[in-house]
Amino acid sequence: MSKVFVNIGLSLDGYMAPEGMTMDDPSYKNWGAKWGALMAWLINQQYFRDKLQFGPGGETGAVNEMVRHTFERTGANILGKRMFDQGEVSWPEEAPFHTPVYVLTHEKREPWVRPGGTTFYFINEGPERALELARAAAGERDIRISGGADVIQQYLTLNLIDELEIALAPVLFGAGRRLFENLGETASQFRIDSVLNGTHATHLRYVRA
């Protein structure tokens, strides 16, 4: 059966995104530089640069192969409306997913088809319905819960996440959107599966206990 997993960057003090992160004001509280420092580990990988057509170069090695594996194992993505709204104005025309993407939202909207195999579907019936559709689309491949924090928290509380892959970057935000908040008592428990040390982050992989 396909797995449901999270693969995200996290600041040392537990934030997925810095305070004020909005495309409406890229200069607000210098969030762009903070985000760049958080995600430097990914932007520097050769596979990621090739995938998003950033140009030649980039690091190879174990972290690069981990990034390749993440893309190749993913058959569908789930994300929240806030993440989609920011991505809609900043992603290139060929959005970086190359899979069906299920957006949790109250907005009613027809599917948005992008070049390269990405289609966004807007789901009004909640996280479990989005996962049902994502499983059907992914087939034998896995489903990535891409974010943001609120969406990941919903799936953790529902005990529907099998694996957590966290790139812990040595940056401090002080404020922003925390990953591990608003979790009910039914939140899943995890055990350490592997640790990979990279140049810009430590990659922690947990599987459900």
Amino acid letter, residue 95: A
Please give the structure tokens belonging to residue 30. 């210098």
pTM over 0.85: yes
Helix (H, G, I), strand (E, B) or coil at 188: coil
CATH, domain 4-208, list 3.40.430.10, 3.40.30.10, 3.40.50.720, 2.60.40.1730? 3.40.430.10
> In 3D, which of 94, 48, 99 has the Cα closest to residue 69?
48
Predicted confidence at residue 55, as pLDDT, reads 83
Q: What is the mean pLDDT of residues 162-176?
A: 96
Predicted confidence at residue 186, as pLDDT, reads 66
Amino acid letter, residue 85: D
Q: What is the mean pLDDT of residues 192-200?
A: 95
- Lowest pLDDT segment from 68-72, 77-81, 183-187, 193-197: 183-187
50-73, pLDDT tens digit by residue? 888 788 889 999 999 999 999 999
d(CA 36, CA 181): 23
Q: What is the mean pLDDT of residues 140-158?
A: 95
26-36, pLDDT tens digit by residue? 666 778 889 89
CB 201 within 8 A of CB 169: yes
pLDDT at residue 105 tops 90? yes
Domain boundaries, the chain: 4-208
pLDDT at residue 194 tops 70? yes
d(CA 100, CA 118): 5
Please give the structure tokens belonging to residue 87. 């991505």
87-104, pLDDT tens digit by residue? 888 888 888 899 999 999
